């Protein structure tokens, strides 16, 4: 095992993760050389607009790849163990749902419509723990349902007989049933009304508090995510552009994109006019060679023609030339020398 990932307090360490998709129009660089890490019992929120590659990042970590994968490389350490090199069967039996689970986007469709919810939740347990009997598994499902607030009478129902909020709770119960150290939440509340959102967030907070689970929360809803976040990672056009602890980030984001993103979030008090970010994010088919945000950036300078590395600024990391002077060093792998060689 490599030194890189063996730090005990880290649940997850992603190094140089690349995930490209092949399409008829060309290669989409959905996840482009992403590095990040997540400590035990912490929640990192990955924010970014639609199509910035945040769901692809989750898929890359979970190895849920569609047919049209072009490139899939990098190293992922889960509790110190490198998992990218594992073969499919080992990954399925030893990693999937044992080490990390998923609460999917739109839980409406995340449950098989022709199977009872109890069976679907119990299935996860039965696959990975063959010595657990069916009846014990169902009993455990009942406990989990109570824990996340699904009434007992819903146990043997079909997904279509449940409301959206209940389905999302079932999905959370499913993600927790094997007690994995890491749960990836892919927009867990975006399809729900505000009250239900708040309830689900409370459930998630409680779980984190009581079980010590770590979360990766993927969302574009900055306001809701701020409740749960310990750390924040901002994604833009397939790259992580800023990583900070939540407190400093929400107080003062570093990256120009993050600044403008936060300025576009309505606040409860204060009547500042909301700002917007002019222009469109670049196409991931053929992203610009330099900084990907340069075209929309008010601080643009000559250096932006070259792709900036992740600069360490204190405990925070930011991918912007503005912080070159303040930087303590460079974080992660930087593909730039390779690209410069091409230019």
Size of interface with another protein, in residues (CB under 8 A): 65
Phi, psi of 55 (to 5 degrees): -70, -35
Binding mask 135-164 for another protein (x = CB under 8 A): xx-xxx--xx-xxxx-x-x--xxx-xx-x-
Sheet-wide strand order for 69-78: 26-39, 10-23, 69-78, 81-82
For another protein, which is the closer residue by CB, 47 or 58? Answer: 58
- Tell me which residue has tokens 């190293």: 75
For another protein, which is the closer residue by CB, 31 or 62? Answer: 62
Region of 72-80, 177-185, 213-221, 296-304 interacting with another protein (CB under 8 A): 177-185
Determine if residue 63 is left, alpha or beta; phi over 0 gives left, psi from -120 to 50 gives alpha, anything else beta.
left
Please give the distance of CA 323 from its chain centroid, rounded to a whole number. 25
CB 252 within 8 Å of CB 79: no
Instruction: Determine if 102 is a binding residue for another protein (CB under 8 A).
Output: yes
Tell the smallest beta-carbon distance from residue 2 to another protein (Å).
25
CB 54 within 8 Å of CB 235: yes
For another protein, which is the closer residue by CB, 171 or 229? Answer: 171
Of 48, 53, 74, 165, the residue at the interface with another protein (CB under 8 A) is: 165
Region of 10-18, 79-87, 200-208, 247-255 interacting with another protein (CB under 8 A): 200-208
Instruction: Determine if 259 is a binding residue for another protein (CB under 8 A).
Output: no
Nearest to 111 by CA among 171, 184, 190: 171
Of 128, 289, 300, 334, the residue at the interface with another protein (CB under 8 A) is: 128
Of 124, 216, 237, 318, the residue at the interface with another protein (CB under 8 A) is: 124
Binding mask 222-241 for another protein (x = CB under 8 A): --------------------
Tell the smallest beta-carbon distance from residue 112 to another protein (Å).
5
- Residues in contact with 185: Cβ distance below 8 Å, sequence separation at least 6, in sequence order: 102, 103, 204, 215, 216, 217, 218, 219
For another protein, which is the closer residue by CB, 103 or 254? Answer: 103
CB 214 within 8 Å of CB 41: yes
Region of 198-206, 288-296, 310-318, 325-333 interacting with another protein (CB under 8 A): 198-206
Binding mask 50-79 for another protein (x = CB under 8 A): ------------x-x--x------------
Q: Would strands 69-78 and 329-331 be described as parallel, antiparallel, or unpaired?
A: unpaired
Instruction: Determine if 194 is a binding residue for another protein (CB under 8 A).
Output: no
d(CA 182, CA 172): 12
Tell the smallest beta-carbon distance from residue 97 to another protein (Å).
5
- DSSP string computed for 176-212: HTT--SEEEEESTTTTS-HHHHHHHHHHHHHHHHHH-
Instruction: Determine if 199 is a binding residue for another protein (CB under 8 A).
Output: yes
Tell the smallest beta-carbon distance from residue 204 to another protein (Å).
10
CB 186 within 8 Å of CB 104: yes
Please give the distance of CA 255 from its chain centroid, rounded to a whole number. 19
For another protein, which is the closer residue by CB, 29 or 105? Answer: 105
Neighbours of 229 (CB within 10 A): 25
Q: How far is CA 129 from CA 64, 178, 264, in A?
A: 22, 9, 47
Rule CB under 8 A: which residues touch another protein? 62, 64, 67, 92-93, 96-98, 101-102, 104-106, 109-116, 118-119, 123-125, 127-129, 131-133, 135-136, 138-140, 143-144, 146-149, 151, 153, 156-158, 160-161, 163, 165-166, 174, 177-179, 195-196, 199, 202-203, 206, 210-211
């Amino acid at each position: 095992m490599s030194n890189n990932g063996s730090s005990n307090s880290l649940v997850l360490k992603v190094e140089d993760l690349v995930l490209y998709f092949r399409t008829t129009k060309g290669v989409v660089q959905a996840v482009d050389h992403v590095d990040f890490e997540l400590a035990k019992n912490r929640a990192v929120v990955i924010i970014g607009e639609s199509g910035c590659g945040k769901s692809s990042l989750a898929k890359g970590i979970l190895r849920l790849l569609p047919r049209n994968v072009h490139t899939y490389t990098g190293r992922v350490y889960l509790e110190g163990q490198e998992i990218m090199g594992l073969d499919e069967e080992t990954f399925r039996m030893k990693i999937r749902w044992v080490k990390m689970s998923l609460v999917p986007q739109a839980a409406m469709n995340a449950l098989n419509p022709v199977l009872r919810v109890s069976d679907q939740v119990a299935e996860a347990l039965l696959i990975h723990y063959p010595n657990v009997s069916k009846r014990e598994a169902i009993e455990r499902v009942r406990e989990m349902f109570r824990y996340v607030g699904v009434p007992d009478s819903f146990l043997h129902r079909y997904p279509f007989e449940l409301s959206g909020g209940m389905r999302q709770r079932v999905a959370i119960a499913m993600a927790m049933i094997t007690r994995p150290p890491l749960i990836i939440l892919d927009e867990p509340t975006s399809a729900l009304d505000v009250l239900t959102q708040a309830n689900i967030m409370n459930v998630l907070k409680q779980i984190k508090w009581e079980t010590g689970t770590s979360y990766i929360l993927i969302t574009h809803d900055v306001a809701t995510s701020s409740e749960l976040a310990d750390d924040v990672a901002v994604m833009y056009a397939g790259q992580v552009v800023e990583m900070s602890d939540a407190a400093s980030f929400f107080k003062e984001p570093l990256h120009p994109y993050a600044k403008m993103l936060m300025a576009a979030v309505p606040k409860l008090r204060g009547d500042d006019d909301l700002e917007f970010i002019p222009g469109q994010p670049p196409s991931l088919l053929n992203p610009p060679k330099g900084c990907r945000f340069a075209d929309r950036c008010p601080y643009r300078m000559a250096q932006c023609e070259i792709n900036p590395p992740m600069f360490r600024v204190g405990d925070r990391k930011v991918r912007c030339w503005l912080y070159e002077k303040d930087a303590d060093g460079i974080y992660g792998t930087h593909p730039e020398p390779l690209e410069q060689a091409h230019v």
